Amino acid sequence: MSVNKVTLLGNTGKDPDFKTFDNGGCVAQFTLATTKRAFTTKDGRQIPERTEWHNIVLQNGLAKVAQQYVHKGDKLYIEGELRTRSYDDANGVKRYITDIVATDMEMLTPKATGAGTQAPPPAPDAPAPSETDDLPF
């Protein structure tokens, strides 16, 4: 048995690049930054902040969602698997790229109401709808 699973929570570095294919499929690609905060150890040593950049690849349905709703700076939760590909650069040197091919994506940035503001939460004292309000009989 083997496992190839990646879980990331970070912010997008750019709007997705979206491509469609003749067979009806599509792909969206963007970068995602994950940052480990700076801290000070017990002995006073300063550990600086560290940001890692990940190449995210979404296919078909997820790609269409990303094209429409994902923007630079959005906070995303991504689950997927690692895939490595290679190519030869202009000098003939073999280069490797590791992508995260996403199987699940959750958008965590609150929706804007149109003017760049966050939608207000529901009032805490608002009455819950009755179970019988929408019955057809």
The per-residue pLDDT for range 69-103, each reduced to its tens digit, is 999 999 999 999 999 999 999 999 999 999 999 99
- Domain ranges (residues) in the chain: 6-36+51-107
- The pTM of this model reads 0.75
Architecture (CATH level 2) of domain 6-36+51-107: Beta Barrel (2.40)
DSSP character string of 71-100? -TT-EEEEEEEEEEEEEE-TTS-EEEEEEE
The per-residue pLDDT for range 36-74, each reduced to its tens digit, is 999 999 999 999 999 999 999 999 999 999 999 999 999
